[in-house]
Amino acid sequence: MNGVPASMRLPHERARGRVRGLVLALMAALGLLVVTVMDGWVWRSVTLPREVFAVVERRDWYQLFRQVGYVPLWVIVAVCFWCVDRGVRGPRRGLLVLLSAGLGGAAAEVVKAIVQRYRPGMDGEYAFRWGTGEIPNAHLIKGLGLASSHAGVAFGGAFMLGLLFPRLAYPLFVVAVLCSMTRLVSGAHFLSDVYVAGVLSYCVARGVWKLGGGSDSAEIKA
């Protein structure tokens, strides 16, 4: 690896890193504000009618992208890395991918437990478990929605593969977005649900990456 650990960087380099982190945090917060404002409109615009979705859900392409948010898929990816790397590099790359995907989904579940915002109901409005009063169409709401664990898994795996193979970063990001779209067209999540999952998974992937020996300036070589 060619990267310099953060503890060995010059003061101005560490300061630049802190400023960059602050800017990214502010951008993420602004993005959350924007998607929150858009939530109702996007939900009404992209959610497919039940009879249409029943057809779409059976399509192979829909299931292909939906399963990107399925943890066992990333177990298979990790095993493939292990088979390729066995006896040469050990299980590091496969473990990084699996941890990033799994922890991305787990982070979404933690946020669900904290925020306790329900999935969209028939009216596409927010409802919280800790709120008071009767929830409209409560019998149609299936669990908590913020953040989407499917999107968390998909983005976690995609971001880590993008760190390992930078040339694949954009195509993999698109695949994760398409996985998120399957959650939107089904009406199961708001746009903010998948946005928060993406931000969480980015943070998780960067943390796992650095703990695994990666850096901002060098990838773990194939």
pLDDT one-digit tens code per residue, 175-218? 999 999 999 999 999 999 999 999 999 999 999 998 887 754 34
176 is a domain residue: yes
Helix, strand, or coil here: 209?
helix
158 is a domain residue: yes
The rounded distance, in Å, linking the Cα atoms of 154 and 105 is 8
Total count of residues recorded for the chain: 222
Token look-up 């802190």 returns 18
220 is a domain residue: no
184 is a domain residue: yes
Q: Which of 26-30, 90-94, 166-170 has the lowest mean pLDDT?
A: 90-94
Task: Say which DSSP state 128 is in.
Answer: B
1 is a domain residue: no
Closest of 72, 44, 69, 74 to residue 180, by C-alpha: 69
Helix, strand, or coil here: 129?
coil
Q: Rounded mean pLDDT of 31-57? A: 95
Task: Say which DSSP state 90 is in.
Answer: T
109 is a domain residue: yes
26 is a domain residue: yes
The rounded distance, in Å, linking the Cα atoms of 33 and 30 is 5
Prediction pTM value: 0.85
What mean pLDDT is reported for the chain?
A: 86
216 is a domain residue: no
Domain coverage including residue 96: 7-211
| Model pLDDT, residue 139 | 42
| Model pLDDT, residue 81 | 92
**Total structural domains in the chain?**
1
The rounded distance, in Å, linking the Cα atoms of 92 and 40 is 42
The rounded distance, in Å, linking the Cα atoms of 40 and 2 is 47
The rounded distance, in Å, linking the Cα atoms of 72 and 180 is 17
